[in-house]
Amino acid sequence: EDLRPPVISLALSQGSGLFMAVLVQMTIAGKSFTGGNMEIALAANLTASSRLGQDAAGIPRFSSRNCHIALVSVKANLPSSMLPKVMSRFLDSTLQKVLPGLLCPAVDAVIDLVNAKFTTLTSEMPLGTAGTLQYSLLNPPVTSETFIELDLKTILHQKEGKEVDLPTDQPSLASLPPKRDAATQLVLSANFLSAELSVLQASFSLEINNNTVLGLPPLVTTMLGALIPEISRVLPPSQPVVIEMREAKAPVVTVTPDKSFVQLFSTAEFWVSPSDSDPESLFVLDVHSNLEARFAIAEEKLQLSLALQRAMGGLHHFSVFQELPLKGVLADIIHVAYVPSIN
């Protein structure tokens, strides 16, 4: 007739898993043996433990065991004279038999929901269209009295299915940040983040022209000629210039206690794009960008945003002139167009 919200207490058990204590209060109504209506108000304490291990597929999994029910109190709306000891024993034994079958399956249902979350933790996740990421357990879960530790292996695949090599060395627990109370803490290595960006680097390519973004200097041959007089004689006048940015090497992530950085190793190829003929490559500039990385968490996803610290460049395929005048323009291009595109 009435089931109150249960009072649930949870505790981690050293080396095993989870201990649960659930106080259940309910009212059962029916006909009494005298023919009238009878109500029984009872309180029962359910205790159960669940062991945390891993299944054959290497997925963390709770398995419930040792579910017990203890009656705390039983009260009926009958005079004590009508409720002899034999009836009390009957109610007690009947409830002791019925309640485990009624309540213990609820514990199993909750455990199944938690295990379903673990299954999604190890499922393959897309990294946009560039590849996939998957976690698997390196070692069996470790349970202490204050936290559960999962030692995970990260598996990265490129779009074509090739697995990305990752360093196998793991940081020692002593070197990790202190565990915060009542918080889940996920520790990712800089090597892993570098590898993840290497999977994504093909999507960093960008063609930049006058219509790409506001705030850039006019990208025309006249601008290039003014900056680099050595090539002004061979440039067609007032023709649009297209700059093709591509990543040449895998990005490198560096994490320090104060700041984190991402180094990008790019090429900037300058093309002249006449309206009446095919584009022609002028020169290629090697670009090394150092960007400050900021991390945030939103909707259970790690977000990374970059901000340009400095950019350095060197020319190849056209080495007869100094590239220094281009560096200011290049820094503007990276700051205004390229970094926002990556973000």
Under DSSP, is residue 127 helix (H, G, I), strand (E, B) or coil?
A: strand
> Do 334 and 208 fall within a single domain?
yes
- Indicate the Cα dihedral angle 182, 188, 262, 219, nearest 10°: -80
Q: Please list the ranges in the chain whose pLDDT falls under 50.
A: 317-322
Read off the amino acid at residue 313. G
What's 311's domain CATH number?
Answer: 3.15.20.10
Inside any domain, residue 337: yes
What's 22's domain CATH number?
Answer: 3.15.10.10
> Do 230 and 95 fall within a single domain?
no
> Do 319 and 225 fall within a single domain?
yes
- pLDDT reported for residue 320: 39
pTM greater than 0.75 (yes/no): no
Inside any domain, residue 177: no
Q: How many domains does the chain have?
A: 2
- pLDDT reported for residue 261: 94
Based on the number of CB atoms within 10 Å of its own CB, is 333 exposed (0-12), middle (13-18) or buried (19 or more)? buried
Sheet holding 280-298, edge to edge: 206-208, 241-255, 260-272, 280-298, 301-316
Inside any domain, residue 79: yes
Between CA 148 and CA 145 the distance in angstroms is 8
Inside any domain, residue 152: no
Q: For 289-319, write each residue's pLDDT tens digit.
A: 899 999 998 887 889 999 988 766 555 544 4
Inside any domain, residue 328: yes
- pLDDT reported for residue 72: 86
How many Å is the Cα radius of gyration of the chain?
Answer: 33
- pLDDT reported for residue 323: 53
Inside any domain, residue 149: no
Domain that holds residue 315: 187-342
